[in-house]
């Protein structure tokens, strides 16, 4: 069933007389405008209160939750890559310091050795460590860098499997 409704609107317009340009007077003219409003919608509009049911609400909520999970997964993977890169970089600096025969009593070298000792412990004695004239080729450090990089990659892949789309 359709409803016919007429709405009246008063429109105010500024018009000018037909006088020459310099003498033109502006006046406000009110015009009554009628327009037809036809409502052929057989389904009534949804109620305008907050508890109304929306057929697409569940899908939008699921999409929002999926987007949030993906953003969270991205953040976690960024943190994992940052920590992995920091650890591999510190072990790489340790490798270079030993290779250059840096003074182990220097503050920077002591700091690097003390921070990386904990992470190098599982690889101690894994391979031979050739040395000559103070230069040390610390092969376990290279193995540790590869293992920690692979471990970081594995954790990132696991996060994407669990939380990615």
Partnered with residue 3 across adjacent β-strands are 39
pLDDT value at residue 70: 86
Residue partners of 132: CB distance under 8 A and separation at least 6? none
| Pairwise CA distance, residues 26 & 18, whole Å | 10
Block residue for tokens 């340790």: 94
Question: Which residue numbers in the chain have pLDDT < 70?
Answer: 1-55, 165
For 48-75, write each residue's pLDDT tens digit. 555 556 667 777 777 788 888 888 889 9
The rounded mean pLDDT for the chain is 79
pLDDT value at residue 23: 53
Give the distance from CA 48 to its chain's centroid.
34
pLDDT value at residue 57: 72
- What pTM was estimated for this model as a whole? 0.62
pLDDT value at residue 12: 57
pLDDT value at residue 162: 87
pLDDT value at residue 64: 82
For 88-97, write each residue's pLDDT tens digit. 999 999 999 9
Domain ranges of the chain: 68-163
């Amino acid at each position: 069933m359709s409803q016919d409704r007429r709405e009246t609107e008063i429109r105010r317009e500024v018009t000018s007389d037909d006088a020459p340009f310099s003498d033109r007077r502006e006046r406000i003219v009110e015009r009554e405008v009628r327009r037809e409003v036809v409502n052929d919608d057989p389904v009534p509009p949804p109620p305008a209160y907050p508890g109304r049911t929306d057929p697409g609400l569940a899908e939008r909520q699921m999409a929002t939750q999926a987007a949030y999970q993906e953003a969270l997964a991205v953040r976690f993977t960024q943190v994992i890559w940052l920590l992995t890169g920091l650890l591999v970089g510190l072990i790489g600096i340790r490798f270079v310091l030993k290779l250059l025969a840096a003074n182990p009593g220097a503050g920077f070298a002591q700091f690097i050795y003390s921070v990386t000792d904990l992470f190098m412990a599982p690889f101690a004695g894994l391979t031979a460590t050739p040395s000559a004239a103070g230069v040390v080729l610390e092969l376990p450090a290279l193995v540790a860098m590869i293992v920690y990089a692979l471990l970081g990659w594995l954790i990132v892949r696991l996060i994407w499997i669990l939380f990615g789309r």
